[in-house]
Amino acid sequence: MPLYVLPFPMIDPAIFEIGPFALRWYALAYIVGIVLAWRYMRSLVLNERLWDTRPRPTPLHLDDFVVWGTLGIILGGRLGYVLFYNPAYYLANPMQIPAVWSGGMSFHGGFLGTVAAMTLFAYTRKLSLWRLFDLAAAAAPIGLFFGRIANFINSELWGRPSDVAWAIVFPTGGPEARHPSQLYEAALEGILLFLVIRLLTHRFQTLKSPGFTAGAFACGYGLARTFVELYRVPDEQIGYLSGFLTMGMLLSLPMVLAGAALMIWSKRRAAQAA
């Protein structure tokens, strides 16, 4: 154990409680992340400089989509956790599957749920699916940032034991000082990924190449998540799949490959059109 460690900020996971009702930081993170992502997507579609002349979603479309997207995130995130991370427990306790408040959400499940929601929404509204994918990809790091900060406040998904100067003793992680891996993810998946995609959309105008921004997000997230998995303790019920390989790495690999392929396809398609 290092001689000096950073104290864990003892923040109650519940902001306030009134009888059986409790507003938790985790729920607030979802609310704030979704609202800010929605507002950012609206600002993007209103910026004429970023788009070509082909049709794109309107602010009114995005106002309608926010409900679809929220359902995709929550339902997909929960089902992803149940299927990817703890199927044996939920098979034995099926009544616990809807208990989102007890913890257990998967980004990869939420990603798939959101893709399904966008596909259905684009089909029913007769919109370009790639345009919608690109908008969601540009805004997604906002929600990821707030979600990882909530993980830190909840003292969950902490990192491996470490003697780095910024190691923290988590109240749920035993006496060992650990990497604050939640903050690593907030920085990489949230702040850095947002800035990279912002540079792509505003400096290189990738929204004019449908699918490229979505591919950049998928690839960037997969790389960031794989890197942080080197410092994060895998879920106890799964552990390491083989050597240092974790479930998070395994689920991120298809995102990296698909994202890279989508960026290449998008650029080739734009070149052919030109």
Q: For residue 246, tell me if it sits in a domain.
A: yes
Q: Please report, for residues 24, 84, 114, 194, 219, the alpha-carbon distance to residue 124 in angstroms, rounded to integers and kept in the order given.
A: 34, 30, 15, 29, 28
Residues shown for the chain: 274
Pair of tokens at residue 129:
């699916």
CA dist 130 and 54 (Å) reads: 12
268 is in an annotated binding site: no
Q: For residue 142, tell me if it sits in a domain.
A: yes
Alpha-carbon Rg for the chain in angstroms: 20
What is residue 177's three-state secondary structure? coil
Q: For residue 5, tell me if it sits in a domain.
A: no
Show Cβ contacts of residue 115 under 8 Å, excluding neighbours closer than 6 positions.
72, 133
Q: For residue 220, tell me if it sits in a domain.
A: yes
Q: Please report, for residues 237, 262, 270, the alpha-carbon distance to residue 142 in angstroms, rounded to integers and kept in the order given.
A: 29, 22, 28
Q: For residue 90, tell me if it sits in a domain.
A: yes
Q: Please report, for residues 75, 111, 239, the alpha-carbon distance to residue 29 in angstroms, rounded to integers and kept in the order given.
A: 16, 17, 27
Exposed / middle / buried, residue 58 (Cβ in 10 Å: 0-12, 13-18, 19+)? middle
Q: For residue 68, tell me if it sits in a domain.
A: yes
Structural domain of 154: 14-273
Exposed / middle / buried, residue 10 (Cβ in 10 Å: 0-12, 13-18, 19+)? exposed
Q: For residue 108, tell me if it sits in a domain.
A: yes
Exposed / middle / buried, residue 176 (Cβ in 10 Å: 0-12, 13-18, 19+)? middle
In the chain, how long is the greatest CA-to-CA distance?
62
CA dist 139 and 190 (Å) reads: 10
Beta-sheet pairing, 14-18 with 21-24? antiparallel
How many domains is the chain partitioned into structurally?
Answer: 1
Q: For residue 7, tell me if it sits in a domain.
A: no
Q: What is the pLDDT along the chain (274 residues), one digit of tens a residue?
A: 555 677 888 888 788 888 767 788 888 998 999 999 999 999 999 999 999 999 999 999 999 999 999 999 999 999 988 888 888 888 888 888 887 766 678 888 999 999 999 999 999 999 999 999 999 999 999 999 999 999 999 898 999 999 999 999 999 888 899 999 999 999 999 999 999 999 999 999 999 999 999 999 999 999 999 999 999 999 887 888 888 899 999 999 999 999 999 999 999 998 887 6
Is the entire prediction scored with pTM above 0.85?
A: yes
